[in-house]
Amino acid sequence: MTQYRPGPPKHTWAIAGQDVPAFERDMEELRAAALAKGAGFAELIDADKVAVDERVTLKCRIPPCECYGQCLMDPPFSPTAEETAKVVAKYRYAMLTEVAMELPQEYWELIQGDEPLCRLQYDERALEYDRTVQQPLWFKLHEVVMELERKAHNLGYFFAVGYVASTCYLCYTADDPVGYCDTTKPCRRPYEARPSMEAAGMDVFSTYWNVGRDLNLGSREKFSWSGLVLIV
């Protein structure tokens, strides 16, 4: 819900930085909102800690991801690493966030089996777990990122922009579990769709490292997805 607060815009640090205590209160409000939506954490970080690397999107093409060229929020339609680096350089602060869950034992055993992971995309068992386990977690992250972006905008940080994880699941349905975009037409949910950090060339692992956090490859106890909102 849009609820603007009366006051000057805070969309640049030249303005927001004039009242650091007020900025800190705003950021604490954002952090609390993310936690209330189910985030494992929401941390204000220096934007120059956000790592951007062309090799991230290279891995979308070699080997080609099943989503490559199939979704308007994924490469080659998403912002390039070069574009993202230029954008990130304009910001002073960002908020890094994460959602996580424990995987069902059966799912963990499936992905730990002898079958190469690249073939699991054709396995009906894996597709069912994607629908019932991974997608709900993605929607949780999407809700957290949207909440952060919306509240930041309502507080006067008009350049706030969010990034989610993986691909975009907004148009996936039970009848169409793959749900790829018709990339010849405009996005069907333009106000909600956001690219992932990695689709825009952000190195999520290095970003965590830069801010003193660990991001391990998925385990059964903690399967996580990360999001980011550039604030000001």
Query: Which phi and psi (to 5°) does residue 97 adopt?
Result: -145, 170
> Residue 174 — pLDDT band, cuts 50, 70, 90?
low
Q: Which residues of 1-36 are buried (b: 16+ CB within 10 A; e: fewer)?
A: eeeeeeeeebbebeebeeeeeebeebbeebbebbee
Q: What percent of the chain has pLDDT over 70?
A: 93
- The region of weakest confidence among 75-79, 117-121, 203-207 is 117-121
Q: What is the mean pLDDT of residues 73-80?
A: 96
Q: For the chain, what are the domain ranges?
A: 13-38+53-230
pLDDT of 177 > 70? The answer is no
184-202 pLDDT, tens digit per residue, is 999 999 999 999 999 999 9
pTM for this predicted structure: 0.92
- For the chain, give the percent of residues with pLDDT over 90: 71
Indicate whether 225 pLDDT > 80: yes
pLDDT at 51 over 60: yes
